[in-house]
Amino acid sequence: MSLIITPIPAFTDNYIWAMVNDTNKQAIVIDPGQAEPVADYLQQYGLELTAIWITHHHHDHIGGVAELRELYPMTHVVASSDHGVSPDQVVKEGSSVSAWGYTAQVWAVPGHTESHLAYVLAKDEIKQVFCGDTLFSAGCGRVFTGTIEQLFESFKRFNKLPKSTLFYPAHEYTASNLKFGLSIEPDNTVMQQCLTEVIALTEQGKSSLPVSLEHERQVNVFLRTEELTVIDGVQRQVSLPDTKSLTVFSALRTLKDNF
């Protein structure tokens, strides 16, 4: 069986991730904020939608669920009871979801929202993480109904995964996040090079995602809160009561909110 993971663009910068079983022509989509792009993609490639996985309740992640259920009545919706979609399978921390012989572990990764989930699936011995709006390439989600402490702990948890782990964020925010990162670490040459590459990709209409944890450790300031270059970069802009990782992480999120 060939399992293909591909982004379906939606709105202006969302990605609805699709997992496609190329053998039986079935598909699972994650966070369909819009139905039309998904339906068009499925029709184009002759695919049947069998499941929808939801990471959190924001409209740009669940807005297409009802229409897709009408179009594909056998679709199995997987979500938290707090996600506003009446799931067929209620999941939470410690749950698991099946996909054609693969198993995805469900992680609670609050912060952006209190009930945010991630789906961690092992494919070809590499973990694939559908992380919604918790982690972006070179960034993190804003804090809405969660807390900064929760988001910090979610990042710590992600950072314990193998360096080969691939993350599939739900937005193309990479270039803007890298620009912010360079305002903190202007001499980070990996970040500079990455920004050049990402701008070239997006100008061609291509995705900068997924990204590996190894890569993020070099370019994501929210994973680099113990680096002196990051601490110094934050202290150039704001006064810190201490240089603990959570303090630096929180200051970075505030700076990014106003960037």
Pairwise CA distance, residues 210 & 24, whole Å: 24
Q: Which two tokens stand for residue 192?
A: 């500079």
- Detail the DSSP E strand segments found in 109-182: 117-123, 126-132, 135-136, 139-140, 166-169
Q: Which two tokens stand for residue 244?
A: 């603990």
Write down the pLDDT at residue 228: 98
Write down the pLDDT at residue 92: 98
pLDDT in tens, the chain (259 residues): 789 999 999 999 999 999 999 999 999 999 999 999 999 999 999 999 999 999 999 999 999 999 999 999 999 999 999 999 999 999 999 999 999 999 999 999 999 999 999 999 999 899 999 999 999 999 999 999 999 999 999 999 999 999 999 999 999 999 999 999 999 999 999 999 999 999 999 999 999 999 999 999 999 999 999 999 999 999 999 999 999 999 999 999 999 999 9
Contact 247, 241 (CB under 8 A): yes
Beta-strand relationship, 76-79 and 48-53:
parallel
- How distant, in Å, are the alpha carbons of 94, 230, 244 from that of 233? 38, 5, 14
pTM over 0.95: yes
Q: Which two tokens stand for residue 67?
A: 């229409």
- How distant, in Å, are the alpha carbons of 130, 179, 182, 213 from that of 188? 27, 11, 7, 17
Pairwise CA distance, residues 241 & 52, whole Å: 44
- How distant, in Å, are the alpha carbons of 109, 142, 149 from that of 240? 26, 20, 16
> Which amino acid, residue 58?
H
Pairwise CA distance, residues 228 & 37, whole Å: 44
Write down the pLDDT at residue 145: 97
- Nearest one of 94, 185, 201, 114 to 154, comparing CA atoms: 114
